[in-house]
Amino acid sequence: MTTNALASTIVIDTDKAPQFIDITERVVEHVKSSNVLEGIVVVYSMHTTAAIKINEYEPLLIQDMEDFLSKLASPDAYYRHNDFGIRTVNMGDDEPPNGHAHLQHLLMSTSETIPIANGDLQLGEWQRIFLLELDGTRPRKRRILISVVAYNYSK
Ligand code: ZN
């Protein structure tokens, strides 16, 4: 983890998809160490197949959300992005067949913004911040930026 007062990058290991990883405490720690009293914090995924979403951590609901994502874009459907016989652009050595993950990500968000008041993250009772892995074709390291915009610091 690289840290300065306001911005840091964390790296999260993922190993399946969909995978909801609760990163709320990492964001709370960062906001506390920033000494910002009033402001906002932006939690931002640097990826096109891993999203940031606020929702409730309840295991059965997470299964429901996983089913919902599979219905939106099934991993088993045909995607041109996965058709390596015709695709020529952005091809890596070990290109994953992850068309479904990109389409799911299209409807998710790359970042969430949370207000800070009196030094605390303003999350509702059931709100948790998730890194949402959508591409489970191999274990991955996901880079997440946590960036605080300060209106006012504590003394
Ligand atoms: Zn891709």
Backbone phi, then psi, for 62, in 5-degree steps?
-65, -40
Task: List pLDDT tens digits, range 43-86.
Answer: 999 999 999 999 999 999 999 999 999 999 999 999 999 999 99
Can you tell me the distance from the alpha carbon of 54 to that of 69, in angstroms, rounded to the nearest whole number? 15
Write the DSSP string, 64-109: HHHHHHHHHS-TTS--GGG-TTT--SS--TT----HHHHHHHHHS-
Q: What is the whole-number distance in angstroms between the Cα of residue 141 and the centre of ligand 1?
A: 15
Residue 153 · residue 37 · CB < 8 Å: yes
> Domain range holding 59?
4-75+98-153
Residue 146: inside a domain, yes or no? Answer: yes
Helices 99-107, 59-72: axis angle to 10 degrees equals 110
Considering the domain boundaries, does residue 112 fall inside one?
yes
Residue 80 domain-assigned (yes or no): no
| pLDDT tens, position by position, 78-106 | 999 999 999 999 998 888 999 999 999 99
3-state SS, residue 19: strand
Q: How far is the CA of 118 from the centre of ligand 1 (A)?
A: 41
Separation of 62 CA from ligand 1 center, angstroms? 24
- Secondary element (H or E) of residue 131: strand 128-133
Distance of CA 21 from the midpoint of ligand 1 (Å): 21
pTM: 0.92
- For residues 115 and 99, what is the distance between their CA atoms, to the nearest angstrom? 34
Instruction: Measure 102 CA to ligand 1 centroid, in angstroms.
Output: 7
**Domain containing 108 — which CATH number?**
2.60.120.460
Whether 60 maps to a domain, the answer reads yes
Instruction: Give me the residue label for tokens 């160490």.
Output: 33
